[in-house]
Chains A and B, each alone.
Chain A
Amino acid sequence: MLNIIVCVKAVPDPKEACNIQIDPATKTLMRCDVPLVVNPLDKNAMEAALKLKEKMDAKITVLSMGPPEAGNIVKECLALGADQGILLSDPAFAGADAYATAYTLAKSVEHVGSFDLILCGMASSDGSTEWVGPEMGTFLNIPVVTMVKEIVEIGDEWWKVKAGFETGFRLVRVKLPAVFTVTRELNAPRALSFSGIIKARKKEITRWGIDELGVPEESVGIKGSPTIVSKLDSKESKRAVEVISGTREEKAEYIVRKLADEGVI
């Protein structure tokens, strides 16, 4: 049986586009209540796991580190067809950079036990470092392929995948267990089904904190993070805009003339 672990992150809904801004007076973050959703690329990771499960005997475990509310997105993955859901939630995990996040996830994977394939989205929509998958693989001492856009061949031990590479791709042969981070091109994530939601009601979410993982407090969260934010400077260069008025035709004519005068068209 193929044991698949899918790492998912709860992110503020990118479509709600209420950007977190800095209060210029108090220099604190002004958050607004944007609902948490599954990070878009993690949906592709989840879909890849479901597709594999359709093809072969497989078990899907979903792993998410986040605030208690992130339980909702784990539930969503259970409704999509995951067999087991684990939420890593502990105040000690808060403020983790990519390194501490990858470390905590790696420790949790070890705690899950047997695994063959770990799937992550290539990047998260709110952090976007792309480091969590490869750093987790390093901590687990297993090979990593980032930007997987096609699974070409499934072997017993050796798999072949296509990974994005500049304007083309890289064909990679990799031995499982391994970590893949996936891109949007890999698949089209399915929608939730009503029957899935009903079935998921019976599935329990496992909750682990620092005690269950048995890791020292200095190695997780903000304490375990080598990088920190040192300061925030205000936005740089502004330009003096000329807003063009008139009818649609007039505006179009005017801008074409202006650009011609500037010598750029």
Chain B
Amino acid sequence: METNGPVWVIAEQMDCRLLAVSLQLIGQARKLADRLETSVEAVLMGDNMDLQPQQLIAAGADRVYVGNAPDLADYQPELYTELVVNLAKARQPEIVLIGSTAMGRELAPLVAASLKTGLTAHCIDLVLDENNILEARIPAYGGLLSIICPEKRPQMATVAAGVFSIPEPDETRTGEVVRMEIPEHLPGRIQTLEIIQEESEGVPLESANIVVAGGAGAGDLEGWNIIAALAKTLNAALGSTRPAVDEGWTDLETMIGQSGKMVAPELYIGVGLSGELQHMVGIRNAKVMVAVNNDPKSPVFEQVDYGIVDDCREFVPVLIEKIKEYKEKQVTC
């Protein structure tokens, strides 16, 4: 028997494919569990989950609890919560990690409140302090805040895709796969009827080589469209800061940062944004970073490689022309 409860990852699948964030969390859970001298356990719910448990084991899980049933194919809030909560009561995990996905952002608080414990949102790092208490780090007040849950257990946190990297799979690792009992009487107050995924327009943020992100400095929709045109010219994905989403210039899907997407492109161009840490943590691993801002004192200029002090609405159209000229030259010679 381990003295410490296990470190848990609530894994997630969509259309039977494990999400990358689940494997990333297993990697981090492994590190935490090794320090705590305990095991890593994953919980996976879905249908036809035959091969996925081995993937989780190869990534570092010691034991995988699998709920395998047609009723579990899609995320079902009541049923998933009930299964996780009952198992957590039996296994007493020390830590529970969940991806900041649409499912995770709903399931995590449902589970945390049911277990009467704390939950830290959208962390960008997870470390153990000198007393082996989990410090969940979030950007705030211009620095990194550590949130702890000193007394209640489990200690829970959600983490976005891309915060941790996927561990190198070790196919020789072995682990235990345990089937979860599915209750005969399904809870009946809420049902997911279907999940529809739409093709998003343009280049997806997660896999883009170039990201152009716009912020409040766009000023209005017209200004925003100029930034969007820059993204198009570069065949880049369009990213945003929260004010741009709040203004309705773009969808939440494009938001980069702590509560949005974490990306690591070759090139990032931030236009009309101030370099707030909540946004910048989502882009800190970009190779080359450029900012366009009309305020020479903007903190964004401390966080990029190239800075251009100018009004973005005037400068960006000129930049688009220069890029087009450059691209034409590329083709002809």
- On A, residues with C-beta under 8 Å from B are 14-15, 17, 19-22, 29, 40, 97-99, 102, 123, 125, 128-131, 134-135, 137-139, 142-147, 160, 163-175, 178, 183-184, 225-244, 248-249, 251-253, 255-256, 258-260, 262, 264-265
Contacts and interface: CB of A to CB of B under 8 A. Distances in A.
Contact of B301 (A98, A172, A241): A241
Contacts of A229: 145-147
Contacts of A15: 243
B144 A232 contact: yes
Interface residues of B, number: 94
B142 A134 contact: no
Interface in B11-34: 14
Interface string B77-94: 110000000000000000
Nearest to B251: A185
B109 A130 contact: yes
Given A131-B109, A138-B110, A144-B190, 11 more contacts: A40-B246, A137-B110, A146-B105, A170-B75, A175-B190, A183-B252, A227-B118, A228-B148, A230-B135, A233-B143, A255-B290
27 contacts: A21-B141, A97-B118, A99-B113, A102-B113, A128-B259, A129-B122, A130-B105, A135-B110, A138-B110, A144-B106, A145-B190, A164-B252, A174-B191, A178-B189, A227-B147, A228-B150, A232-B143, A235-B142, A235-B277, A240-B305, A241-B307, A243-B306, A243-B308, A248-B310, A251-B315, A253-B322, A264-B266
B121 A167 contact: no
A158 to B, nearest CB: 10
Contacts of B135: 230
Could you tell me the dominant secondary structure of chain B's interface residues? mixed
B194 interface: yes
Contacts of A99: 112-113, 117-119
A139 B114 CA distance: 8
B260 to A, nearest CB: 10
A218 to B, nearest CB: 12
Interface stretch (B49-57, B164-172, B177-185, B281-289): B281-289
Contacts of B152: 226
B129 A259 contact: no
B307 A14 contact: no
A251 B308 contact: yes
Contacts of B120: 227
B195 A259 contact: no
Contacts of B37: none
With a 10 A CB-CB cut-off, give which of A137, A229, A259 has the most chain B CB atoms.
A259
Contact of B112 (A131, A145, A166, A248): A131
Interface string B112-137: 11101111111000000100000101
Nearest to B120: A227
A143 B190 contact: yes
A184 B248 contact: yes
B101 interface: yes
A19 B259 contact: no
B146 A231 contact: yes
Contacts of B246: 14, 40, 125, 184
Contacts of B193: 160, 171-173
B106 A146 contact: yes
B331 interface: no
A19 B242 CA distance: 14
Interface in B287-305: 287-290, 296, 301-305
A40 B242 CA distance: 12
Contacts of A135: 109-110, 112-113
